[in-house]
Amino acid sequence: MRFNYVSSICPFCGTGCGMNLIVTDDGISGIAPYHRSPVNRGKLCTRGLHTASELKNFRIVKPVIGGAEADLEAACAKLLELKGKGAEVYVSTRYPTEAIKAVQRLAKEVLGVETVKTFTDAADLQSTAVLADLEKADVILVVDNAMRILPVTGSKVLRAQDKGAKVLYAGPENYSAVQADETAITEGELAVPENFKAALKAAANAVVICPAGSQYAAAAAVAEETGAKFGLLFETANGRAAVEAGCVPSLSAFKAEEAVPANMLIFAESPEYQTELYLDLVEKLGKVENLVVVASNASVLTDIAGTVIPVAAFGEYAGTVTSWDGQVQETPAAVAAPEGILTPYELIEKLSDGAIKEA
């Protein structure tokens, strides 16, 4: 019986925790600690621990057109019908960097679409802090629900607090607020009290962290004003690299725009069936005339798409991901994809008639 450990990186949030995939004859059968990872030293949050079961659940193995099973050739032909029609192209920021870049090339060179977008909301800023800065900080300002969204990053804040750091919180009432020494509960626009700013200014090592959402620009401004380092936390595994590759974060713009695109391609990726993931977008996406979704696992998106093309999942092809603090790490191919399922690179090579190959 096959029984291997393959070291990889958790596919969920931008902390970039190391994990061992337990590979048996049944594929990726479990997760074991990877103690040598400097990011998390073997610790994982519940999402990371459940990666193996999530990968197995809700797997898509057949292309679908109009609700009926179809063959891959027909589904690819439907995708290629988007050529020259001004389609909107989105890519999940959970794909590895190489796959994101391949999607960009497919959009530009095959479909005639210049810009690939993402359903995220941070664009023009970079972190000046790294994960290790949190552990040696004297004062940490946490904005929004950072500690729930990136739990292992949150655990570094709590470790600093145990060692005497002051943890301040600004934002809506939530889990991060409960953990803080002092809180400034505000709904809507970020309001950081003057005594918080004074504490940040006076500290030898001060850090402000904020998830990549609606508050990040205001949080970064507080860091700049007070001389603190700033950590922009990406909720998805490869959000930072997607921005660096030139994908345009467009979540708020998509929601705000009244018009519904007629043609749309989404390279989706969620190793778990999250009903809430696209829930606020589903009503609008449901009105897209020709919605093509490429994905490894079912989601509310694949439920409403006119055409669904299955693709290999995390752990079935190699790539690199960049954590929120800029560490580039490899995610190897631990197992083969199910028979007949192409990796994103193979699918894009096929769609481009061999013109775009894996780098």
In the complex, which residues of this chain contact ligand SF4 (CB under 6 A)?
10, 12-13, 15-17, 40, 44-45, 47-48, 150-152
Residue whose C-beta lies closest to ligand SF4: 48
| Residues 111 and 88 sit within 8 Å (Cβ to Cβ) | no
Q: Determine the number of helices (DSSP H) and then strands (DSSP E) in the chain.
A: 15, 18
- Of residues 6 and 217, the one with the C-beta less far from ligand SF4: 6
Q: Shortest distance, CB of residue 135 to ligand SF4, whole angstroms?
A: 15
Strand ranges in the chain using DSSP code E only, listed in sequence order: 3-9, 18-24, 27-32, 64-65, 68-69, 88-91, 116-118, 139-143, 166-171, 182-185, 206-211, 229-233, 248-249, 263-267, 290-295, 307-310, 319-322, 328-331
- Please give the angle made by the CA atoms of 293, 298 and 300, to the nearest 5 degrees: 75
Closer of 13 and 347 to ligand SF4 (Cβ): 13
In this structure, which amino acid lies at residue 51? T
Nearer to ligand SF4, 44 or 79 (CB): 44
The distance of closest approach from Cβ of residue 23 to ligand SF4 in the complex, given in angstroms and rounded to an integer, is 19
Task: Using the minimum distance from each CB to ligand SF4, give the nearer residue, 12 or 196.
Answer: 12
Q: How far is the CB of 49 from ligand SF4 (least distance, A)?
A: 7
Euclidean distance between CA atoms 46 and 324, whole angstroms = 19
Q: Please give the Cα distance from 71 to 61 (Å, whole number).
A: 11
Q: What is the smallest separation between the CB atom of 315 and ligand SF4, expressed in angstroms?
A: 14
Q: Least Å distance between CB 324 and ligand SF4?
A: 10
Q: In the complex with ligand SF4, which residue's Cβ is closer, 31 or 220?
A: 31
Cα 66 from Cα 304, distance rounded (Å): 9
C-alpha to C-alpha distance for 132 and 202, rounded to whole angstroms: 20
* Pick 17 or 266: Cβ nearer ligand SF4: 17
Residues 6+ apart with CB under 8 A from 325: 127, 129, 130, 131, 231
Least Cβ distance, residue 12 to ligand SF4 (angstroms): 3
What is the amino acid identity at position 304? I
- Tokens at 284, concatenated: 């609008």
Task: Choose between 44 and 64: whose C-beta lies nearer to ligand SF4.
Answer: 44
Question: Smallest distance, Å, CB 155 to ligand SF4?
Answer: 8
